[in-house]
A and B are shown apart, each in its own frame.
Chain A
């Protein structure tokens, strides 16, 4: 969906930025700030999170900043549910994501074992 939504917006999204912390802004407006804020929110360094929060709020509207917080929440929910119930990736999504999975080397994640053929 990252790649497809980028195409809709006319943006050439650099997928490797998802897993490569040196890959810049992913070709998405304020992408570097969003990624740094996400990393900080997922980490344990409160001072770093304060800095990244201020930096992100400086470039986003208040509503967009809250959206970023909500997305961090949303995917911490669904990732846990997916990994704790052992669901496989849906066949349709599996078929459509082969190049992305290969580019990001997602088969190295332990939960790949839940999807037949993924490892």
Chain B
């Protein structure tokens, strides 16, 4: 069953077709079985990511300099450690650290499942920020699709200076030959999710529609209706507000 087309009927501004199609694609992937999580679990991750934006504990933690204990706003269907991981990534990414990540993995969340969770949480943040900026309600989450995760761990993924294993462009072969699009320069942000290759494909589709096609990123003359300096100014301010060094 195909995921319904996305319409932004409440918007006072028409949303271009490629964005609406990308949003349909993202929602379709969110509700479908992934590599390590089922469709129902991915949908639950998406729902937690959405809920984190209004979570009282997350708000209190953002405003505090120290550790704040408590329970995240619910109800929850995922284990508590998974819920906390989603909420922290969604609501306060600036405070994520290597020691925090090591604790998450030591707590029993496999790194493959962690990477997929990061992807779903992050693309949902994107969808919801888009709706907020546009001035419409967030898109409804579709019903999950039945089926089993594929459980495919790519042989080429290895330690490469990040917290998580990644596939080097030179090792992107076989089923992963398409992963990086054949560009000369593959930035780490494109490689970041490569332990779960389908999430790289999802990120590239999202980036192509919301920013610029990955291969065009280094071209300063590439633009949309906004001129490139206007685009980069918005991008840089978002990253500054998120306190993202990358």
Contacts and interface: CB of A to CB of B under 8 A. Distances in A.
B25 interface: no
A42 B231 contact: no
B18 to A, nearest CB: 10
B224 interface: yes
What class of interface size applies to chain A in its complex with B?
35 or more
A115 B245 CA distance: 9
Contacts of A104: 240
Given A72-B234, A81-B119, A67 B225 contact: yes
Nearest to A35: B237
Main secondary structure of the interface of A (DSSP, over half): helix
- In this complex, which of B93, B132, B218, B220 has the most chain A Cβ atoms within 10 angstroms of its Cβ? B132
Nearest to A107: B245
A83 interface: yes
Contact of B123 (A7, A61, A77): A77
A106 B241 CA distance: 11
Contacts of B166: 87
A109 B226 CA distance: 28
A110 B97 CA distance: 7
Contacts of A30: 230
B161 A66 contact: no
Nearest to B185: A92
Contacts of B163: 85-86, 114
Interface stretch (B8-16, B35-43, B71-79): B8-16
Interface string B213-246: 0000110110011111111111111111111111
A35 B129 contact: no
A80 B232 contact: no
Given A38-B237, A85-B118, A85-B164, A68 B229 contact: no
A26 interface: yes
A48 interface: no
Given A65-B13, A76-B238, A80-B242, 7 more contacts: A4-B220, A6-B232, A66-B14, A72-B130, A74-B207, A75-B234, A78-B203
14 contacts: A2-B233, A6-B232, A18-B240, A34-B230, A42-B242, A49-B135, A53-B135, A64-B230, A71-B238, A74-B235, A75-B235, A85-B115, A87-B162, A111-B244
Interface of B: 12-16, 19, 89-90, 93-98, 101, 115, 118-119, 121-123, 125-127, 129-130, 132-135, 161-164, 166, 185, 187-189, 191-193, 203, 206-207, 209-211, 217-218, 220-221, 224-246
